[in-house]
A = this chain, B = another copy of it.
Amino acid sequence: MNDGRLSSEALVRDCLEQIRERDSQVKAWTYLDDELAIRSARELDRIPRSGLLHGIPIGVKDVIDTLDQPTEYGSPIYRGHRPVADAGCVAMARAAGAAVLGKTVTTEFASSYPGSTTNPHSSAHTPGGSSSGSAAAVADFMVPLALGTQTGGSVIRPASFCGIVGFKPSFGLVTRTGVKQLADSLDTVGMFARSVADIGVFTAALCGRPEFERIHEAAPARVGVFRMNDWPPCEAPMTEAIENAHQFLSTQRCAIHECALPVPFAALAEAHHDIEYFELARSLQHEYRHHRNELTPGLRTRIGEGLEISGKTYEQGCRLVRECRVLGDCWFTNVDILLTPSAPGEAPLGLATTGKATFNRIWTLLGLPAITLPWHRGPQGLPVGVQLIGRYHEDRRLLACADWIFRGPVPS
């Protein structure tokens, strides 16, 4: 991305200009220090190219620790908190030469209570969450790359709502050190960009794996389709997007298999709920104990509910997940990727919730890599994405297939 023709300072100034113009409406940023950003960019312009992201500005979701900028986890409890170290993913990005532009809005502790961000395509609509600011900032050309996290659908959903590429890698691909924990079995560091190629370069830097730098686009030979159009929240614009993607792939000589979820998977949605609530009730114990009145009533209730879930229920959920992870792997003996909805449909109206994670939770729980590609616009003119799922730890193959689909039909 940085071919040496453009200085980091110029890039950063462009980003800051766009933010100045648009952020009073989009409200994607929770912390931004123009002078610090320009100073960092100048330093990078002075030194030799240090890595894949040299001089590239990135946005960092505010549940991820940064040494030089406050990190508030979307909660007044941590107002002005200055971490003592960069999170692992931030340190990896900086080691590759990235310039941390600022911190982006998150819901409260990456849980449900929304921040101030609006959808760049229509400020009356949610951008999705919990990585609201990162998705909106990339979609609105305020920054080319941003970091997020996903515990339910917090990367894929906002990326779909905002019309960009969102990637939730295999569980554990990107280090989680210094990321505020919500649910340990589920929290996954993910990322936003405006192309699959950029996602590849970003991933290469974040996990220190150069093989991700060059994603050679590759047509998937065999695609499994989970339409899920009988799942309650699936709306017409999403059903159409999946059908349209299906049609496109058929014309490109991909073999399409219609898939249904294996029987044991029916219990995964409930297992996700139990595991998430059980774990967050414990990981947020310090805040629950010392700052209960500074938590939103919704999160307080959620913690209370998590403490009521029996150990037996939690364990059954964990055991089911272990089994389904192995069971789910069987798909990929027949298909290269799965095609499935990214979200129920267009971004819902209003900012009181960030929408439903129904189509994301099971993939997060199984730890499988997922990417959403902007596909078309719905009747309200808002973006609708389609989601591709890959085999555990075959992230590179998923990105290669996604890149090929993202680039669209090859002229014949």
Contacts and interface: CB of A to CB of B under 8 A. Distances in A.
Given A311-B207, A323-B326, A393-B318, A282 B175 contact: yes
A263 interface: no
Interface in A261-290: 279, 281-289
A212 B287 CA distance: 24
Q: How many copies make up the complex?
A: 2
Contact of A283 (B88, B211, B286): B88
Given A172-B184, A326-B322, A326-B323, A86 B207 contact: no
A392 interface: yes
Contacts of A307: 208
A85 interface: yes
A84 interface: yes
A13 interface: no
B94 A289 contact: yes
Interface string A82-100: 0011111011101100000
A319 interface: yes
A208 B303 CA distance: 12
Contacts of A81: 84
A326 B328 CA distance: 13
A270 to B, nearest CB: 17
Interface residues of A, number: 48
A287 B95 CA distance: 12
Nearest to A180: B177
Contacts of A91: 285-286, 288-289
Contacts of A175: 181, 184, 279, 282-283, 285
A288 B393 CA distance: 26
Contact of A325 (B279, B311, B322): B322
B172 A176 contact: no
Nearest to A78: B84
A392 B172 contact: no
Contacts of A67: 286
Given A172-B185, A177-B282, 17 more contacts: A78-B84, A86-B285, A86-B286, A88-B285, A91-B285, A92-B285, A95-B285, A172-B318, A175-B283, A177-B184, A177-B285, A207-B282, A208-B281, A211-B311, A318-B393, A319-B392, A322-B329
13 contacts: A81-B84, A85-B286, A86-B285, A87-B286, A88-B181, A91-B289, A172-B318, A175-B283, A177-B184, A177-B284, A211-B311, A318-B393, A326-B326
Interface of A: 67, 78, 81, 84-88, 90-92, 94-95, 172, 175-178, 181, 184-185, 207-209, 211-212, 279, 281-289, 307, 311, 315, 318-319, 322-323, 325-326, 329, 392-393
Closest 8 CB pairs of A and B: A91-B285, A175-B282, A315-B393, A177-B283, A91-B286, A209-B311, A177-B181, A85-B286
